[in-house]
Each structure stands twice: as C-alpha cells, then as structure tokens.
A and B are shown apart, each in its own frame.
Chain A
C-alpha cells in the first residue's frame, strides 16, 4: 500500500486529466490502438537493432559503416515514432521525451561524423616537395616516395602527387560520395556475387563522373611542370596512394597502379585509380580490417615512367626466416607487375648483408613472359626468348648494388622494409615503393621437410611464403575470378598468386600456388592473415585433386596428402582476425553506447521518467511501458468511455488486464473483473487455458534442487502471496483482444514476452508471432534460457530466429485448430519459463529441460522427471 502511494506521487497519477470525449468512440479507440500497435512494432524493431548490435560487439562477424549507419537510422526513426505514438495515445503527456530523444539523436550523429575531417591543401604537389610529414595530404605511397627522394636522397623517379584534397573535391562534385554510399548500403561482402556487382556499379559510376574543372586544370598543370623539369613529355605511371596504405596494414596489391599512361589519358587513369578503391578485393580487405568504406582519402602518385629492363621486390630481411639475417630479392625481366602480381615465378636471391653483400643462394625462376609497355599506352605480357628465360635478370654485381640500396632504405627508416625496385635500360636502379615489412606470425627457420609425416607422403615442395601448418580440402582455382563457392576451411590451390584472392583469405585454411613470389603482394597478405602458404610449388594444380585433404606446412614449404596431425598448428594459436579495435568497430562501439544500454529497468524506480532516459533502448522501454499504462488508464478513469479495461480473475502468476476492441468478451462492460469463461476471443482463450494449466504449479514452493536455479533477482522480488498464490507485487500483464485477435504483453524487469495472434477460419490470414527477450541473469544463463525456448518452439513447428537473448518466432497460415493448440502451449511456456532461471552446465542439459517441458514437468523438478521415466537430473 505504501508503495502504491509512492508510485502515485512519483508519476503524478493523481493529476490525470481525461481525454477529450470522442463522438466516434469506436474509431477513436481504433486510432489509439493503431498508434499503440505502431509503437509496439517500433519497439520490436528497436529490440532487434539492440540485439544485432550486441552480437556485432562481441562476435567476429564483419560489418562496415553501411551497417552501422543503417542501424542508427532504424533505431532513431523508430524511437522518434514511439515518442510521437506515446504522445498521441496520452494526449501529449510526455513532451519532455522528445527533447531527450533529440539529445540522444545528436550524440549518435556526432559519433557517426567523427573521423570524417577533411584535409585542406593544394590539389597537387611536386614529388620534390614531399616527405613523410605530408602523409595526410598525399597518402602513404607518395609520402614514402618523397621521403626516399628528398629525405634519404635515394633514386626515385620524378613526378608529382595528386593530393587527398583533390580526391575530396572529386567526391563532392556531382555528389559522387553520396551516390557511392547509397550503393554500398546494399553490399553483402560474404556474397561474392553481390560483392562483384556492387564493386562494378561503383567503379562504372566513378569512371563516368567528370572531374571538377579546377582539379583537371591542376593535374594538367602539374604534368606540364614535370615535362618542363625533364625537358620532354614522359609517359607516366599512376599509383594509388591511400591514407593508411603502407602503414600498419599493408593493403598489398589491393589498389590499382596503371603503367605507361600516355599524356592524353592521365585524367582517365586518375579516375581509374580512384575507382580502384572499390575493386572487390579492396572492399573485402577493408571490411575484414574494419576500415570504413566511405571517405577513404585516396591520393595518387604520378611518376615519370621508368622503362625497366628488369624489376621486382626485395625484403630487407627474410620475412619467414628472419633468424637467417638474410635479405631476399625477387626479380624478373621487364616491368615489376609480373613479380609482385604473381604471374611469373621470379629469380630469387638470398643475400647476406654487410658492407660487402654476398649472395648465399640464387635460384632461377621460370620466366616465360615479361611485361612490356605498348606503343599505344598500357602494358601487355610478351613471350620471352629462350635465352632470357634461362638467364638471371640481374648480374651478381647488380644484385650486390641493389642490396646496398635496399640496406640504405632500411637504414633510413630504421625498420625492415619491403621495397619495389626497377632497373632502367641504362643500368640505374630506381625505387618505386617502400613499406614496412610484415613478418609471419610464427617466423622460424625452416628445416628440410620430412618425406613422410604420420604416414602421409610428401607430395609437393615449394617456397615458404607464410609460416604455419594447417590442413583442409583442396579447392583448385585457375584464375582469381573462379573462386565462387570457396568453402570455409578449404586449402586454396591456385595457378598464380594474385592479391585478388584476398576475397577468400578469411575462409582459407592454407594456400598453395604453382607460381608466385614470396616477396609479392599475395605472400604479404598471407602473412598478414596468418595463413600458411607454399608458393612456387610448380604443379600443385595438376597433382592435387579438388576436395582431397592435404596438410600444408608453410614453414618448410611442403604439402602432404591427408591430415598429418602431428605437424598441425594448435588451433588456439591461430590469431583470429577481429573487428575489435578497428576504426569501424570504434564507431560502432560509440554509437552503440547511445542505443544499447538499458538504464531504466524498474517502472517503480524514481529514475523511471523521461529525463532518466539515456539511450534509445531506454526511450523505447519508457515509451512502451507508459503506452500500456496510458491505454489501460483511459478505461480506468473515463467512466463514460466506450471501452473498458478489466482484470482477469484467474490463477496466474501476474495480474492480467484486458481491453476488448470488440467481440473478445461475452459481455460489453461491467465490473472491473472478468471471468476466464467470459473470454470468447478464440486466441486469447487458448493462451489463457495454457497459462492456467494446473500442472504449472507455479504457486507451490520450489523443490529444493530447483530453488537453487531461481535467480536471486527473481527470488528477491517474490512478494507475499495474495489470494491467487505467490505473485510478484505489481506484476501486470496486458492483453488487447478482439474476437479473432490477441495481443499479450508481459514485461517484468528485464524479461519481456509478447504474443500477437490472429485466428480465424481462413488459414492464410492466421498467424502467431512470439517474442521473448530475457535479461536479469548472466549472459550464459540468458543464452541457455533462450536456447531452451528456441528448441521448444522448434518442436512446436515455429520458425525461430534467435539473436543473443532475443527470440523471435512465427507460426503462420495454419488452420485455427493448429493455431489454438500452439497458443495453449505458448501459455504454458510463458509461465513455466518465467519460473526458471536456469543454471545449466552443458548444452546437453537443455535437452533434458525440453523433454521435461513436453512431459508436463513444468517445474523442471528432477525428482518428478524420474517418475516420468526421464533419465538423469540436470547438473
């Protein structure tokens, strides 16, 4: 009694003012009900957003900014609608809630906008004016090239950098950025077809969008300056220079470089490099690394073309066997794309460093073709004459010169580097790129592989591209675009290495290629992903068969048939790729803090008022609770009103209030109490029949063994018994009913149960929708409880979706008898599960609970179960 007085004070129940009398009460009631129904729909949507965000926050699933934005928009619009609905139902009694919503909305917007600052500055820079300090303005590659040229005074081609400001001005023109964002919304990166489709549509869009005039003029001007400084009009190479590229994450080979661009095609080439931000592999790479897809500032390096006679990649320290102290140089004839892109098997030198570098090992590659510039622009592979195929592309002297150059790069950064190099026709070396070197997670010196492991024969040998040892079924790919349907945990066996394979790296157990350089892009990626990789295995695609199990020992460069258990890495050692800590994850975390937490749990608490709402979840919780009160309060107060809430006189563990929209009760109005027999709404009667099943025995004292399972939270709230038995004080559930309709809602503390059902003689219109969200227990128990509910609903033929502690179930388009039977079971389930806060040790025990439920042992009493012949007690 004291408590109810307190509630009255806090919530101003005394100040209630009657709603204006309606002349069409039936329509007015329906309109209110419609607002109410909208409000509950929005509440459902918000719960779904909350559950989705919770799951993303603690799982490894991938998501991008598109996901984060769309969840925010859904949460915000539905919260706004709930506030409006509540005010419509209550004759605008909660204006303050709108202000609270505004605060939360602004906080979410701020969180989404963070990190989208624009760099201001010139559209182009001469490479002579660039060093690392300009990384934010020109992107990683240009900054590193400028640093090598001007800071380290090392040979780098002349050129200019097109800045990230230039990129922003391109994106803002014609609303290109917005248009891209729209297309990204429908992206599903786990669906390779969708990924390719989205990628294609964005790239086409970028290619056809004109550059702003000022930008086009700036690029042409920078090119003219380059011509003036060289004294001729060179062809150029345009290379991506994104911010973040070449930093902690390599983005190896993910973006586009265009070689041998003729002067009239520079603008097209610029667009093409920008479009390269959206190749399928680049989108994928960013997604798995949690880099926002939108607003990635992309600079472009434009370099005078070096007509290379040979080129390649060098690692200043062997990334797989750092203990050797050696440098590894890969090289091939012609332009460098062949080596880094993996289309030829390059020459390889292991070089011991020192003032006098010495070649420790030289191995001749299989170089059947080389990349050559074309007269009309662009490049193409050309078959090599046989005498060149069998010749090293560098002399020993050149290898030593190159080694000294690489050592100078390493010394300048004081860090191990991966360097792209080229040798021009006059015998001069140039540096084309330098970035920090990634090592294998488990770098170790490789011993010679055994000819047999656990009885499994060694079938292939190759170069160790990334260490570790794992096994799986073979998936053969002759070209990077034939990897549709690549299964989780398969071993990728590819003809060539290619950075495009990044699309399956999150799923691949290991990689084997016929051809490919261990200093190339794909090897870098394999090391980054910690996937064991053996490259240059020559005939892997012919010797291995699709689907056969192989063990790939990346450390020793060996492949065994079958599963060589003793070699395999401890699965726990595998470093899972996590979104945690990535930029997108951080944004999600911040916006989630304005959506997910529930601070308002107890409607009786003094904090339960609009100003107490801190999050979207709070607003939804508050509006939902108050909406019920408002709906039912109308009838409490307005005696002349055309509808009335009644309290059901039934033995239930909660008080049930009913509103009849028409035809749900056998009498129109009357006293405040209604007997179960007077409920003629078919779905409601069935639900109530289940809820009042005598076998539920919820009013009895709990058996000792089960008492321990009742959560402290529930137990402490159990009040003294009233005339219907032990009931939680103030527990109220609500049902809005009609002849063929029932909407039942029960919300106690964290628990939330809703049943919405329509049941007529036309099967196609019939449905039951059931929803349960349960808190007030630790996450493990919550999940188990939901699993139990899911399993029971499955047995009842419901379609069930479960997300964390949210269960959604549907049963549709069945004849009335089938519906009514399920509603009865749902009634039992609602009462039985709210008695139980399970503490289950193993998932096996859940089956025991499911059995107990269907045997009518609703107290989940292990003793009773044995009588019924069920085996064993719950742990």
Chain B
C-alpha cells in the first residue's frame, strides 16, 4: 500500500524550494524542485510525479496558468496550491481548475505534509477507480 510519494515543488523563491525539499526528503518523499512554470512542465513531461506543490505568484507564467497546463496534460496528477497571495478570487480559481487544496504561506510543515499525503491518497484512489473501469 505504501509507496514513495513523488513530489514536485514549484516556486520562484529558490531558497524556499530548497528548504522545503530537504524537509520532505527527510520524511521519505522523492522530491524535485522547479523555479518556474515552464521548468515544472518540462520536468513533468519527462518523469512521473504524484503531487505538485505549486506557488501561485511567479513571474512570467503564473501558478494558475501552470495549473491549467498541468491539468490538461495529466488530469490525475494532484496539485496543492501554496501561496502568500491572500486573494479569494485566485484561490477559488485554483480550486476550480482542479487543485486539491490551497494553503496560505506561511504554512506549518506538518500541515503541508498532511495535505500532500491526502492529495496522494486521492490520486491513488482515482487511479484504482479508473483501472477498475478499464478492466471492464
């Protein structure tokens, strides 16, 4: 049942990505980081991931755009939004685009881990559900 959760952290703040990556790796996650939307999409194109932790506010391609791209390319991949931007509109838009959760920075690391685990569980069940249908 338990398997390594593959997590991609996307944030333009390099130090933030580094720190968070270390914390997740210490908890037994497989982690990679990206500092922009296009970077993230390129990485996702090459390797399978389970969950993306995505910052909303990034220069260039912002979080919502990135989320849109991710969702259309890999609908099963789960995304948790993590942002310092306290805008109701952006947050609800993120949820509408299919993010599984939305966390406000600064967030407690335990909370972030819990949300990522929940998102993973959801992905696992969605896959299972789908595979069940496909078997038919």
Residue numbers of A with Cβ under 8 A of B are 22-24, 26-28, 30-31, 34, 38, 41, 66, 69-70, 72-74, 76-77, 80-81, 84, 105, 108-109, 112, 178, 181-183, 185-186
Rounded to whole Å, the gap between the CB of A39 and the closest CB of chain B is: 12
B88 touching A109 by the CB < 8 A rule? yes
Contact (A76, B84) CB under 8 Å given A70-B104, A182-B105:
no
B132 touching A28 by the CB < 8 A rule? yes
Q: A105 — which chain B residues lie within 8 A by C-beta?
A: 88-89, 92
Rounded to whole Å, the gap between the CB of A742 and the closest CB of chain B is: 18
B135 touching A24 by the CB < 8 A rule? yes
| Residue in A26, A41, A76 whose beta carbon sits within 8 Å of that of B88 in the complex | A76
Q: List 26 A-B contacts (CB under 8 A).
A: A22-B132, A23-B132, A24-B129, A24-B135, A26-B132, A27-B132, A30-B125, A34-B121, A34-B122, A34-B125, A41-B118, A72-B86, A72-B88, A73-B86, A73-B88, A73-B104, A76-B88, A76-B91, A77-B95, A80-B92, A81-B95, A105-B88, A105-B92, A178-B57, A185-B84, A186-B106
A-B contact count, CB below 8 Å? 89
Q: B87 — which chain A residues lie within 8 A by C-beta?
A: 69, 73
Produce 1/0 per residue, B124-136, CB < 8 A to A. Answer: 0110110111011
Nearest-CB residue, chain A, relative to B81: A77
Rounded to whole Å, the gap between the CB of B15 and the closest CB of chain A is: 13
B95 touching A84 by the CB < 8 A rule? yes
Give Cα distance in the complex from A84 to B101, angstroms. Answer: 12
Produce 1/0 per residue, B60-80, CB < 8 A to A. Answer: 000000000000000000000
Q: Does B3 contact A (CB under 8 A)?
A: no
B57 touching A23 by the CB < 8 A rule? no
Give Cα distance in the complex from A409 to B52, angstroms. Answer: 64
Residue of B91, B94, B118 most packed against chain A (CB within 10 A) = B91
Extra A-B contacts (11), CB below 8 Å, given A74-B104, A77-B102: A23-B132, A23-B135, A27-B125, A38-B100, A72-B86, A73-B86, A76-B91, A105-B88, A105-B89, A181-B86, A182-B57
Q: Does B45 contact A (CB under 8 A)?
A: no
Residue numbers of B with Cβ under 8 A of A are 57, 84-89, 91-92, 94-96, 100-102, 104-106, 118, 121-122, 125-126, 128-129, 131-133, 135-136
Rounded to whole Å, the gap between the CB of B35 and the closest CB of chain A is: 17
| Residue in A26, A41, A69 whose beta carbon sits within 8 Å of that of B86 in the complex | A69
Q: B100 — which chain A residues lie within 8 A by C-beta?
A: 38
A73 touching B129 by the CB < 8 A rule? no
Residue of B102, B121, B128, B129 most packed against chain A (CB within 10 A) = B129
Q: B94 — which chain A residues lie within 8 A by C-beta?
A: 77
Q: B88 — which chain A residues lie within 8 A by C-beta?
A: 72-73, 76, 105, 108-109, 112
B106 touching A185 by the CB < 8 A rule? yes
Rounded to whole Å, the gap between the CB of B32 and the closest CB of chain A is: 25
Rounded to whole Å, the gap between the CB of B95 and the closest CB of chain A is: 5
Contact (A185, B86) CB under 8 Å given A24-B131, A28-B132:
yes
Rounded to whole Å, the gap between the CB of B56 and the closest CB of chain A is: 10
Q: B92 — which chain A residues lie within 8 A by C-beta?
A: 76-77, 80, 105
| Residue in B85, B118, B126, B133 whose beta carbon sits within 8 Å of that of A23 in the complex | B133
